[in-house]
Structure 1
Amino acid sequence: MTESAPADDVQAVDATDPGTVTGRDGLVRPAWASVDPLLREYYDTEWGMPVRDERGMYERISLEAFQAGLSWATILRKRPAFRAAFDGFVPETVAEYGHRDLERLMADAAIVRNRAKILAAVTNAQATLRLRDKGGLADFVWSFRPDRTPAPRTVAEVPTKSPESLALSRALRKEGFTFVGPTTMYALMEAVGIVDTHLLGSHRRGSSGVWPQ
């Protein structure tokens, strides 16, 4: 997400951090959240807010897996189609998918047609059901919350993984999950509020209520 924001949407690019943009509304955002209205809305209202329910966490893990190698903007635009194709990401339903469902999904041009990632969504739904015996997926993921969250001043200071994301990756793999590498899991932890990587100057810093501002 390195596009430049249109002139009518941008008030100023911070000379000390070209990855930061102050919008016409006076609010500071990273450049990736300042270009596309859909991304801006996602950043302003959803990204980094706590997700603590099983279905929501399973959906986020699935979408993070589909995002691997692609831009998040691509996945976000396709999210309604993903939800329709995967029956709302209800784990019980996806866990029962068979060959016919796989072929249906591979023929659906509205989603990302990657066989390995589709199979991972089914495998991870089955693993999600098994985790109910250990307190459930959401609590399992949240148990890897670190003692401290990063405090990046610039985009360059935002981590891409951490000891906790590595541990979460290993733990999920042990439970039968796939496409849950440490970088992907760090992105998940950012998205669901487990860590707060909003820049210190961002208007969203501390908005999750999980970490002090």
Structure 2
Amino acid sequence: MATNSSQQKLDTSEIISDILCEFLEVAIHTILYMRDIYPAVIFDKRKKYNVPVQMSCHPQVNEYILSVLHSIKPLLKSDSIRCLALVILDKSKRPIERFVFELQPQMASNLKDDALLTRLESGLRAFLLKLNVCDAVLSTNPADCSFAIIVYTKESDARKLEPRQTSDQDFPWIVADESEVQIKGGCILPLKSYTSDYLKMQLYVEECTNKLEQQ
């Protein structure tokens, strides 16, 4: 019986981490499109959870995003990530926006139940709908912005990423400099929160209030 329980927990964590990585990939592409980080011509319209989304077709952008998600998947499975942030930087590499996904996967339910999976996807669908209209609550970004993805985890858990840097895809993780993550004079705008037996997640944006004045 103990073996079956352990196997179910393993299967559940695998399913949740797969779903989260898939969702985060689409969410990141959506943010890049909505915040005009790249020209609209590099995006293709698709659907996820029956929501129209825009996905990049630029190989280098896509490779970076997939490499990040591939690297953090073991930490998602072990519930070791506190949050993932997509940071938008101006041309001087000053952070002007942070889209923060606070993550807390739950392992209480058996996600092989189709009804539970449907409810989970419905919850994630609501996040994508919010991202599709985030421009309405954010000010215009300056030209020539770039982005970075930052993961917040315990130092002991961060060490789990180190072997993957040489064995998988030569994807180096480094400790983020405080200047890359701290937004001075910023305001926080909550976008969406979701709580269930299998996932707790909150999404908010921290925005620099004078992003254009300092250009």
Q: Give the TM-score of the pair, scaled to structure 1.
A: 0.25
Which structure shows the bigger proportion of residues in helix conformation?
A: 1
Which structure shows the bigger proportion of residues in strand conformation?
A: 2
Q: Give the TM-score of the pair, scaled to structure 2.
A: 0.25
